[in-house]
Amino acid sequence: MTDSSSDKLIEVLRKAVSRTSILAEGNDPELDSVVRQIRQATTTGIDAKAILDVLNNAEPLLIKSDQTQMNRAKQVRHTLEALIDLLVEQGSNPVPQNEKKQLEAQIRSHWQSPAQWPILLTGFLTLVEKTLHQASYSSEQPKNSLFKRLFNRRSESEDTQSNQDIMLRISHTLAGLMDNLQLPNHYDDDIADLVKALQSTNDIQLLPDLMDEVINFVMVAIGKTQESLANYLTQLNKQLASINQTVTSSYNSQKSLSESREGFNNKLQMQVNDTSQAMQGINDLDSLKSLINDRLSTISSTMSEHRLQMQEREKQANQSITSLKNKVVRMEKDSTSLRSLLQEKMALAMTDSLTGLPNRTAYQDTALPLCKVMQKTNKNICLAVCDIDYFKKVNDTWGHLAGDKVLRLVPKQIRSVLAKEDLIFRYGGEEFVIIFPDTTLADATTRAEAIRATVERTPFNMKGEPVSISVSIGIAELQSQEDPESLFSRADKNLYMAKESGRNKVIANK
């Protein structure tokens, strides 16, 4: 590497550190792109494997930050969707359809932006206020209940829930949201007070005020996220600055070594030339011996001095390399630790805490790629929507703890029938989604019928009394060019038909 190219390398590293330091001032949407540019700027055309390895080890930290924010955004999206579901299910007042559609469109467009979360929550608050103040049903009601069923909502004639039940479900949903926001510990008491307020009131008219408090917590969480990001980037800036300093020191040492070697060669050549010239004027042997001895002594002294300098420079270079290796090892350990933490957080974000099943977010992330693979390979895939019959009656009669017990036991019975390749998700409430990969509609229907029969035969006891539990199931088979939303819609329609025809049934069609 020439001096010119080395100087350019140092300059690029300095600019990279400077730009990273600027990024630490806030949460910019272009963060990931700019940091990747830093990585590219420091590695393009550079024969410095140590730098490349260190920066590559730093990259997972950036990915972790991005994925953590994405998981949090997915949880916010899921919570907002669940809140809209709960608002519709309250049944006492109709939800304005235009406002609801606008809010759902805003959620689809802006759920990934933390800065938009308070705006989305405010939009939900506005929807709640308009719903509570609407005196009568809109004339633009859907002609049948399929529209509601597409979004996992029940018709008014079926299982209309009390305000108390709605408020309890909202409290659980909001509590989960606040846990996911990871607020500082000193907010624990405030969160507990808010959850207590949600759980202790039957009056859904108080929901707007309570939502105001939730919005405040979200604003705090956004600020904390930005602060954490700034701290992380500051740490990254320090690590890059330290590496830059080590590389600069190594370069300077190498440059000094080259200059020393060149000086030694020049000095040695000069001494040899002087010796040669002196020998030309000497005629007697004794004088020649004396001259040679003097010159050899001088050359030997020069070589000894150069050897000592080289040893010192080599020692400094080894220390610099050792220091750089230690920094790389530390960053690798940090990367491994953060990668493990990321995997743990991702698993939690994709798992339903009550049943231990993959949740609705996991289903949404799984369904699309799986359907594409099945279509590409011309294999069958079926989807079933399974709903626990009269689940509200269980909650009303035996309490929500009994309902939670049923929600934990039913999936166990379902799993006992499923094949190893089959997938089950808790979609929401008492509803589960089952995916049957590489399975025909006939085989999936047979398996679903076995699920229905198994649940029906399973003894459920509530406080020592036997309780009959059953499930209704709708199944559909994926068609060519069909998307997962359409597949779910058809299965959901079949579930509704199973409910309407008496429950405890399986209905399937193509």
Tell me the per-residue pLDDT of 78-101, one tens digit each, with 9 for 90 and over: 787 878 877 777 656 777 877 888
Higher pLDDT, 222 or 189: 189
Higher pLDDT, 188 or 36: 188
Per the listing, tokens 């990001």 go with: 229
Per the listing, tokens 């005196």 go with: 135
Domains of the chain in start order, with CATH, are: 250-349 (no CATH), 360-509 (3.30.70.270)
Query: Alpha-carbon distance 100 to 98, whole Å?
Result: 5
Q: What is the pLDDT at residue 443?
A: 95
Higher pLDDT, 28 or 469: 469
Lowest-pLDDT range of 108-117, 148-157, 432-441: 148-157
Confidence band (pLDDT; 50, 70, 90) for 155?
very low
Lowest-pLDDT range of 156-160, 172-176, 402-406, 462-466: 156-160
Per the listing, tokens 């559909």 go with: 476
CA neighbours closer than 13 Å in the CB half-sphere of residue 509? 9
Residues 6+ apart with CB under 8 A from 16: 38, 41, 42, 240
Query: What is the mean pLDDT of the segment spanning 224-238?
Result: 58
Q: What is the pLDDT at residue 157?
A: 39
Q: Is the pLDDT of residue 13 over 80?
A: no
Question: 424 and 434 in contact (C-beta within 8 Å)?
Answer: yes
Q: What is the pLDDT at residue 186?
A: 72
Q: Is the pLDDT of residue 414 over 90?
A: yes
- Averaged pLDDT score across all residues of the chain: 73
What's the whole-model pTM score? 0.46
Q: What is the pLDDT at residue 216?
A: 72
Query: Alpha-carbon distance 322 to 337, whole Å?
Result: 23
Q: Is the pLDDT of residue 144 over 50?
A: no
Amino acid type, 395: N
